[in-house]
Amino acid sequence: MASTSISSRSLLDLLGQWRDAGPSYEALADRIRLLVIDGRLLSGVRLPAERELAAQLEVSRTTVTAAYQRLRDQGFAVSRQGSGTRTVIPGTAPTSPAPPTGLLDFTKAALPAPSMMSDAVRRASESLTPLLGDSGYDTIGQPALRAAIARRYTERGLPTDPDEVLVTVGAQQGITLIGRALVSRGDRVLIEVPTYPHAYDALSAAGARLVTAPVSVDSLDGWDVDAFESVVRRTSPAVAYVMPDFQNPTGRSMTASVRRRILDAAAAQGTVVIADETPGELDIDRPETLPPLAAVAGGAQVITLGSASKTMWGGLRVGWVRAERSVIRRLHAVRVNMDLGTPVLDQLVVAELLEDYGRVLAERRGALRAGRDATERVIAEAFPDWVVPHVHGGLALWVNIGAPVSSQLALAARSEGLLVTAGPRFGVDGAFERFLRIPITYAESDVERAVSALQRAWPAAARHPLPEAGLLAAVV
């Protein structure tokens, strides 16, 4: 069982606006249960002592005791004499959060493997034979793959040399490497909100103090550039993490003018910009295609993240960092102390797919178009009051469900056979309870099943909206 624990203050931050109209112990237990389901609170984590948490939440100890008992009854916690109460996933080992069999899993915005995958694996296997005499430990990346990635960036308007590419185990490892190399404990790091949750997890783990700038599906440009500029001037962050194309979860893309202002603001303060472009080429029908952010960096330093997981297949745990050679050397020095490299066969498969990338992208775009159109239509028919933004690419919709009940809806949907990620997973401090991220990567039949489950779950969730006050109302 994991030896990690969470303080009462940290748990309070994760809980956000946890109270509802029902009994307090039920509301507290339900919110902790959602944190476990969403992965915001890992299995095997020791919860705060009852008295300590009660004081932090300003409730009676009896309330916390009853909440912990409810979690135990539901299979989401275990208690042992002398070791406190720990979170668990029902029916699994404490550190294995796989969803139970039979649930429709809409927490993953990802496509199945493309039709050309089998041929790419066969060709890669043939290419592997000459490499079998080597150790197989590769911490920098196979030359063929680094060259293919560099060619792709050059084709897109960002001249790149293979020496400016470091291959990683997914883009998330790239974020972790950048955090360890460029962020010192206590440094401020700017992130968008809402944003990719594993990014702020990784940057927080590096010791960053997060500052935020909003992205909205409602505003014309998406990014509140005035707020971004103000935060950068006021806090001088060491790093700013942005997702310029098909931002996760909003699906918005930066215009040319937004890119210029953000880069200028970062350059003025010496802030390094991390441009996460993992969904950047998942274009369905965007009117305008812009080059990578680093191509127009000007005086700003931009580090670009890419990944095979979104455009190719999640089973290929291959990502990359594109940056200046000095930065690549620095990241590599950190990386060799973390692991022994990226799987060679996976790299060779990605290199093969990049040789046929136009066909890969065309197939992906066709699947995403069908998924988007079906998801928009089915949701509009079932929930005419929900606001469903029309996206031109990416992997998901950031749906405004009209009431601050996202967490309750996610919990109720699980009972109806659907796993879906609540809005607060993409924010901080309990924000975005009015939003639900719904992937566009599923077949229409699965979309219909998922929305039907949401329809069944909605009445129970809607009976207990969160209070319209405080941080929640100010941010959402």
252 contacts: CB under 8 Å, gap ≥ 6: 215, 216, 217, 222, 223, 246
For 221-244, what is the mean pLDDT? 95
Q: pLDDT tens across 301-326, in order?
A: 999 999 999 999 999 999 999 999 99
Residue 283 and residue 138 in one domain: yes
The pLDDT assigned to 35 comes to 84
Instruction: Supply the DSSP symbol for 134.
Output: S
Q: Which of 324, 355, 386 is the last residue of a domain?
A: 355
Residue 78 and residue 36 in one domain: yes
Domain that holds residue 218: 117-355
Q: pLDDT tens across 4-45, in order?
A: 889 888 888 788 777 876 788 988 988 898 888 777 787 788
- Residue 2 domain-assigned (yes or no): no
Residue 376 and residue 297 in one domain: no
For 403-429, what is the mean pLDDT? 90
What is the DSSP code string of 220-265?
A: SSSB-HHHHHHHHHHH--SEEEE--SS-TTT-----HHHHHHHHHH
**pLDDT bracket for residue 465 (50, 70, 90):** low
Q: Is the pLDDT of residue 429 over 70?
A: no
288 contacts: CB under 8 Å, gap ≥ 6: none
Match 């949401």 to its residue by tokens: 454
Residue 195 and residue 315 in one domain: yes
Helix (H) or strand (E) segment spanning residue 436: strand 435-439
What would you report as the CA-atom Rg of the chain, rounded to the nearest whole angstrom? 22
Residue 180 and residue 259 in one domain: yes
Task: Determine the Cα–Cα distance for residues 23 and 41; give it in Å rounded to an integer.
Answer: 22
Residue 378 and residue 289 in one domain: no
Q: Is the pLDDT of residue 442 over 80?
A: yes
Residue 307 and residue 414 in one domain: no
Q: Which of 325, 355, 385 is the last residue of a domain?
A: 355
Tell me the pTM: 0.82
Residue 122 and residue 201 in one domain: yes
- Residue 180 domain-assigned (yes or no): yes
What is the DSSP code string of 20-34?
A: -SS-HHHHHHHHHHH
Q: Is the pLDDT of residue 215 over 90?
A: yes
Q: Is the pLDDT of residue 2 over 70?
A: no
Residue 136 and residue 162 in one domain: yes
Provide the domain count of the chain. 3
- Residue 181 domain-assigned (yes or no): yes
Q: Is the pLDDT of residue 256 over 80?
A: yes
Considering only CA atoms, which of 57, 61, 88, 60 is closest in space to residue 72?
A: 88
CATH code of the domain covering residue 161: 3.40.640.10
Omega prior to 249 cis, within 30 of 0: yes
Residue 374 and residue 244 in one domain: no
Q: pLDDT tens across 146-205, in order?
A: 999 999 999 999 999 999 999 999 999 999 999 999 999 999 999 999 999 999 889 998
